[in-house]
Structures are given as C-alpha cells and as structure tokens.
Amino acid sequence: MYVVVNTIRAPENELERIRRSFRDTAHDLDQFEGFLGVELWQDEGALLAVSRWTTREAFLAYPRSELFRKHHKGLRGEQAMTRAQIKMYEAEAIG
C-alpha cells in the first residue's frame, strides 16, 4: 500500500472550506484504479489529507489527470506537487 499525506496549513475558516471541498469531491477519486480511500486528519492549524493507494504509480495517475485540475481550480499536478507539503510512504496495514 502507498500512503500520501498532504499537510494543508491555513486559517481555520479556510481549512473548513477545504474540508467541505474534500467531502464534496472525494467520491470522484473512486474512478482511479488503485485508489483505496482518503481520510482528513486535524492538527493544530493544519489539515492532513491522507490518501491510500495500491501503488505509487496509482497515486501518480491522479495529479496527471483532468480531474486533478478540476479539484485544484486548473492547477496542474506538477505545479501543485511542488507547492504542497506532501510526504509519501510505503505502508502495510496489519489489523
């Protein structure tokens, strides 16, 4: 399994808008082969979007997609990836 953690720092009112946006559009990701799910974690002054994928390649299909541009107001994946605070992990679910 491949886990991607995107840390989004913003004022609380903006984080709430981002949370709503994730809730409204998360089902769109189901169209991507290898997408396993997404969770939103709250931290002080930050929202962590934690997505799970079968492989790194499955995840990388998303930033290259038209859907990514739609979700990110026209921003291309390459642009967003360089601006974002993203960490990627190989992971194993044990229980």
pLDDT band, residue 80 (cuts 50/70/90): low
Can you give the C-alpha Rg of the chain in angstroms?
13
Q: Residue 85's beta-bridge partner residues?
A: 7
The DSSP output letter for 31 is: G
CATH number of this structure's domain 2-90, picked from the four choices 3.60.20.10, 3.30.70.100, 3.40.50.1220, 2.115.10.20: 3.30.70.100
Q: What are phi and psi of 11, to 5 degrees?
A: -60, 155
Listed by start position, the domains of the chain span 2-90
Tens digits of residue pLDDT in 47-76: 999 999 999 999 999 988 888 888 876 666
pTM, rounded to two decimals: 0.84
pLDDT band, residue 5 (cuts 50/70/90): very high
| Burial environment of residue 75 by CB neighbours within 10 A (0 to 12, 13 to 18, 19 or more) | middle
Does residue 6 register a pLDDT over 80? yes
Cα distances (angstroms) measured from residue 30 to each of 14, 44, 92: 25, 29, 21
pLDDT band, residue 84 (cuts 50/70/90): confident
